[in-house]
Amino acid sequence: MVPTRRCPSAKVSSIEQYIRDTFQQQVIGYGGCVEWPPRSPDLNPLDFFLWGYIKQRAYATPPPTLQELRNRITDACANVSPAMLYNVQREVQSRVQMCIVAEGHHFEHDR
């Protein structure tokens, strides 16, 4: 399926028309044949990994100052290792498979 977005104007652009003619009922997008959800936290590594990781590191103890909080966030980002990113990539693959099995419905609570 090909992701696309709907133009705000009522007039369909020649590119959007080409995509619709070429891919017909396989267009994913806002207002397309298959609606694209506005936000998919189950599939977004920032939601299921990074924000929790940073929050855990930044607030292990209450930061005494705003600058200390900034330093902790910067340090947490700098300490994301290639091995962690590899695990996140594998998790994305797993979650995509679960999404397929769930036919696009919410699935994370089933993990």
pTM, to two decimals = 0.55
For residue 5, the model assigns a pLDDT of 46
**DSSP H or E stretch at residue 27:** strand 27-28
Sorted by where each begins, the domain ranges of the chain are 12-39, 44-110
Question: Which residue from 15, 54, 59 is spatially nearest to 2, judged by alpha carbons?
Answer: 15
The interaxial angle of helices 51-58 and 66-78, nearest 10 deg, is 130
In this prediction, residue 22 carries a pLDDT of 83
Main-chain phi, psi angles of 34, to 5 degrees: -115, 115
What is the full per-residue pLDDT of the chain (111 aa) written as tens digits? 444 444 444 456 788 788 878 887 777 665 666 665 556 777 788 888 898 999 999 999 999 999 999 999 999 999 999 999 999 999 989 988 888 888 877 776 544
Residue at token pair 């694209």: 36
What pLDDT shows up at residue 78?
95
d(CA 96, CA 1): 14
- Find the angle CA(35)-CA(36)-CA(40) to the nearest 5 degrees: 140
3-state secondary structure of 6: coil
Residue 22 and residue 29: Cα distance in Å, rounded?
15
H runs (alpha helix) in the chain? 14-23, 45, 51-58, 66-78, 82-101
